[in-house]
Structure 1
């Protein structure tokens, strides 16, 4: 990817030299650098705010309440996860972060959830069905409020940044449902994988 970007920049500079527009390239570099810093600072503020909210929700027990609320759904989507396993709470937090468009916040939580699922996975060299389901959920990326996109639109001077909410909800809902349907169908046509029940059951 670095080679592609380097090639594009090189062609742009050469074209600017031959067309006498090198001043435009210099201005674009300075303006782009300034804009990048402004957007980065703005997004850092948004991320800090939402990560703080997520931490408060975790400490206050709200995440635990959400985890219990989605337990029936989680049991259907992740049938091999034992009851009260930490993975359920991590998946709940991951889903919540994704739903609010906080992909940067959702990533470390998703990794933590995946590690918990790996502990339950007998075959360490292959992803379990539950791990595939979690990956499909994150790839589809259901979003209720695309906070990061809205923040970028605001930083770029959009007059109506929230108009993206409804189209995003429709598109991500379709993608989310489609991903879950596909992964569940593939589970039926592939050999079942052995998952550890729980240390409690084994001991």
Structure 2
């Protein structure tokens, strides 16, 4: 990937030199770097708040109550996970972070969920069906309110930054249901 970025940057510099727009290229380069830093700090704030909230939920024991509320849904998907296993808590936190469009905050929670799921794995180094289901849920990232995207759109002055809520919800639901349907179909075929 680094090679690709190097090629793109090199080609851009060559074109800027040959078209006589090196000054505009340099200005755009610095403006892009400034925007990247601003957005990174903005997203860092969102991630920090969410991780703080999840820590409070975990320390207070409220996450176990939330996990209990999600249990009927999760038990249909994750049939081989014991009711009191810590992977359910990690999966619940990951799903909640994704529901609120905080994909960056969901990443460490997803890693924790995979580690917990691997603790149930008898054949270490291979992926289990439950891990596949979790990967689909995490990747599809069903979002009720995509806070990060709304925040970025608002920061860039979009007229209606919340206008993406319904399309994002529909797209993430369709992708999750489609992927889960394919996974369960293949499981039935290959049994």
TM-score normalised by the chain length of structure 1: 0.88
SS of 1:70's equivalent in the other structure is: helix
The C-alpha deviation readout for 1:109-152, integer Å capped at 9, x for no partner, is 11111111111111113111111110111111111111111122
Count of residues in correspondence between the two structures = 191
Task: Report what 1:110 is aligned to.
Answer: 110
Within 1, Cα distance between the matches of 2:41 and 2:84?
Answer: 39
Within 2, Cα distance between the matches of 1:139 and 1:131?
Answer: 12
Task: Report what 2:39 is aligned to.
Answer: 39
Unaligned runs of 5+ in 1: 192-203
State which structure, 1 or 2, has the greater radius of gyration over its C-alpha atoms.
1
The answer to which structure, 1 or 2, has the higher relative contact order (CA under 8 A, 6+ apart) is 1
Alignment of 1:42-191 (within 5 A): 42-191=42-191
Unaligned runs of 5+ in 2: none
Task: Report what 1:198 is aligned to.
Answer: none
SS of 1:189's equivalent in the other structure is: helix
Q: CA deviation at 1:13?
A: 1.0
Report the aligned-residue RMSD: 1.4
TM-score normalised by the chain length of structure 2: 0.94
Within 1, Cα distance between the matches of 2:121 and 2:93?
Answer: 21
